Amino acid sequence: MKILERLSKSPPRQDAGDPGSAGASSPDEDQLPITDYDKLDAKRLRPQLSPLSQVELAAIESHELAHQARPVVLNRLHWLKGNEPVSGYDALTTDQIVQALSEADTGTVKAVREYERRHQDRHEVRSEVARVLPTALASAGEDRARDEQAALVQAGFEGREKAAGGLASGSAPDGREG
């Protein structure tokens, strides 16, 4: 079973920022995933942003833009916001991610590694990524790139053989007599 299939069949956790919860409906301070948000200075706030889900980050960004618009906080939010490695990733538990990684392709494993570095940076997930990455199946993009590289190498060898054959017969590579 592929990671995407497994994710679509696993029940998501209900986080404060999940759709339908208080954190997603209003960016008022009392409903943000960080307690006393507006009372925190940017230096204390920055490390609390990393473990938040994409939904929670969007709520924080909306609130920040409407209220204090601190450049340091907005830059951090911009850096953290992005696509989850797979849909629903933020709602998965560590155990669900570790289990799903065993059948993931290298593209997905690398995406999980990068996302974890920026966000929760869970030791268990990082260890599993390091364990499965060397043996993970190549993604479709990697297969395509490998095939294209092999074709270029083969074309290079054929070109060299043709040029060498021309030199051996006494003509220059451009077809002129040497």
pLDDT of 26 reads 42
Sign of the C-alpha dihedral computed for residues 75, 79, 82 and 86 taken in this order: negative
Sign of the C-alpha dihedral computed for residues 93, 96, 102 and 104 taken in this order: negative
Task: Quick: pLDDT tens for 125-159.
Answer: 999 999 999 999 887 776 677 778 878 888 887 77
Task: Quick: pLDDT tens for 39-84.
Answer: 999 999 999 999 999 999 999 999 999 999 999 999 999 999 988 9
What's this model's pTM, rounded to 2 decimal places?
0.60
Task: Quick: pLDDT tens for 80-134.
Answer: 998 899 889 999 999 999 999 988 999 999 999 999 999 999 999 999 999 999 9
Place of tokens 């994710």: 7
